[in-house]
DNA sequence: TAACCGTGGAT
DNA sequence: TATCCAAGGTT
């Protein structure tokens, strides 16, 4: 079960001053609603789905409404996919909404409406990968497991390894890095708070661009800073993914039309969303149908899955 | 491994 | 204006 540690792992705790980090976190911690004491594991899980590749500021209003409307897995499971996709709104990556709905269904059906507390079990749930499984186990159940996201990887890369940026993700290496740090904590019950503090530091101080090293609690021991803050080696940076004109944008436009219409729409209604390139539009629509984010009814009209085609509240 | 999957604010 | 980047997951 324990991972093999790399032989060139740095000395214990190098670059991380625990007391400084905890003291800083006690003062700097943002008052995020999913960190409140009365939030349930499911509601924490919902926040982790929404936060995947999405800034906190955009998640806040959606999560707040969501957990009031659907406070439990079974409540979420009994909603239609159409309602879930509409509540998701323009949060982005709508496949996450579908997977969250599926995840709720599995937990309600197979786990008596109780979110599992073991990483291995969590990772089998739809839409739950290595990060989300560990985040739920740690933040909801206080399990002393490493939680590694992009913030943690960046902080460790700088403070411990002295590099400007994290290298390519490697689950085994990344987990071993943080596991080694957790092992130095006085008691295992501080693991969750340690992970939250590392993530917070990466989010608001040790940022990807223009890190605020002057206000960093780790500035005295940070190996990157001690080395003179050398720039990234910048060897293999993939060309930035563009967005304008891609199938992703077209999918977004099509889904936007369907979210805004309470009744099923015609193909012509969809054509308006991306009028120029019919080939690309059809490809995007086919992929949405394939993903189960859109369905075509017997009469040929298109709608969000599970939507009542004759919804009397139609607003067109 | 790398491509793909949305969206919008910051720089 | 163009690029970066944000609590990743799946194939």
CATH number of the domain within which A296 lies: 1.10.10.10
What is the domain count for chain A? Answer: 3
pLDDT at residue A9 greater than cutoff 50: no
Three-class secondary structure of residue A140 per DSSP: helix
pLDDT at residue A213 greater than cutoff 70: yes
A83 shares its domain with A136:
yes
Least confident of A61-75, A127-141, A175-189, A280-294: A175-189
- What's the pLDDT at A259? 97
Higher-pLDDT residue of A6, A127? A127
Kindly state the DSSP code that residue A149 receives in the 8-state scheme.
-
CA of A249 to C1' of C1 (A): 19
**What token pair was written down for A140?**
């909801």
Q: Which of A123, A141, A159 is the last residue of a domain?
A: A141
Nucleotide nearest to A99 (CA to C1'): C9
A162 shares its domain with A126:
no
- What's the pLDDT at A260? 97
A194 shares its domain with A113:
no
CA angle in degrees (0–180, nearest 5) for A50-A288-A290: 110
Handedness of CA A64, A70, A71, A73 (dihedral sign): negative
What would you measure as the largest C-alpha separation in chain A, in angstroms?
Answer: 68
Nucleotide nearest to A131 (CA to C1'): C8
A69 in any annotated domain: yes
With pLDDT > 90 as the criterion, what percentage of chain A qualifies? 85
pLDDT, tens only, A255-311? 999 999 999 999 999 999 999 999 999 999 999 999 999 999 999 999 999 987 655
A72 shares its domain with A46:
yes
A220 shares its domain with A265:
no
* Beta-strand relationship, A302-303 and A295-296: antiparallel
Q: Point out the residue nearest to B9 (C-alpha to C1').
A: A55
A173 in any annotated domain: yes
Kindly state the DSSP code that residue A188 receives in the 8-state scheme.
G
A115 shares its domain with A155:
no
Q: Which of A101, A121, A141 is the last residue of a domain?
A: A141
A232 in any annotated domain: no
Q: Point out the residue nearest to B5 (C-alpha to C1').
A: A93
A132 shares its domain with A54:
yes
A150: Cβ under 7 Å from strand C? Answer: yes
The pTM for the full model equals 0.93
Which nucleotides of strand C are protein-proximal, with an atom < 7 A from a CB? Answer: 3-10
Question: Residue A290: which domain range?
Answer: 247-303
A119: Cβ under 7 Å from strand C? Answer: no
A185 shares its domain with A261:
no
A41 in any annotated domain: yes
Alpha helices per DSSP H over chain A: 18-28, 41-51, 56-69, 73-77, 81-88, 95-110, 119-122, 130-135, 150-159, 171-182, 191-204, 223-226, 247-260, 267-271, 278-291
A42 shares its domain with A88:
yes
pLDDT at residue A2 greater than cutoff 60: no
Averaged confidence pLDDT in chain A = 92
A97 shares its domain with A45:
yes
Positions of A marked catalytic: 48
| Mean of pLDDT values over A97-125 | 98
A280 in any annotated domain: yes
Which nucleotides of strand B are protein-proximal, with an atom < 7 A from a CB? Answer: 1-9, 11
- What's the pLDDT at A234? 59
| Mean of pLDDT values over A79-92 | 98
Q: Which of A227, A257, A292 is the last residue of a domain?
A: A227
A169 shares its domain with A219:
yes
A66 shares its domain with A128:
yes
- CATH, residue A74: 1.10.340.30
Nucleotide nearest to A165 (CA to C1'): C5
């Amino acid at each position: 079960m324990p991972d093999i540690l790399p032989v060139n792992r740095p000395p214990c705790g190098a670059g991380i001053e625990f007391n400084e980090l905890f003291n800083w976190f006690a003062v700097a911690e943002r008052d995020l609603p999913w960190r409140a004491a009365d939030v349930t594991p499911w509601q924490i899980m919902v926040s982790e789905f929404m936060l995947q590749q999405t800034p906190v500021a955009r998640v806040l209003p959606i999560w707040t409404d969501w957990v009031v409307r659907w406070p439990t897995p079974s409540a979420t499971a009994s909603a239609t996919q159409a309602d879930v996709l509409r509540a998701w709104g323009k949060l982005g990556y709508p496949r996450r909404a579908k997977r969250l709905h599926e995840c709720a269904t599995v937990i309600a059906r197979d786990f008596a409406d109780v979110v599992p507390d073991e990483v291995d079990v969590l990772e089998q749930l739809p839409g739950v990968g290595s990060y989300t499984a560990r985040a739920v186990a740690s933040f909801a159940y206080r399990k002393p497991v490493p939680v590694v996201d992009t913030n943690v990887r960046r902080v460790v890369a700088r403070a411990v390894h002295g590099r400007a940026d994290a290298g390519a993700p490697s689950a085994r290496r990344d987990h071993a890095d943080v596991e080694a740090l957790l092992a130095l904590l006085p008691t295992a019950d501080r693991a969750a708070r340690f992970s939250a503090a590392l993530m917070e530091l990466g989010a608001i101080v040790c940022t990807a661009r223009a890190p605020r090293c002057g206000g960093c609690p780790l500035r005295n021991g940070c190996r990157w800073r001690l080395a003179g803050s050398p720039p990234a080696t910048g060897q293999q940076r993939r060309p930035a993914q563009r967005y304008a004109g891609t199938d992703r944008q077209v999918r977004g436009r099509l889904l936007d039309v369907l979210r805004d219409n309470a009744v099923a729409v015609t193909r012509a209604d969809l054509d308006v969303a991306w009028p120029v390139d019919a080939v690309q539009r059809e490809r995007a629509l086919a992929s949405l149908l394939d993903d189960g984010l859109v369905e075509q009814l017997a009469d040929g009209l298109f709608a969000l899955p599970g939507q009542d085609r004759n919804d009397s509240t139609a607003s067109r």
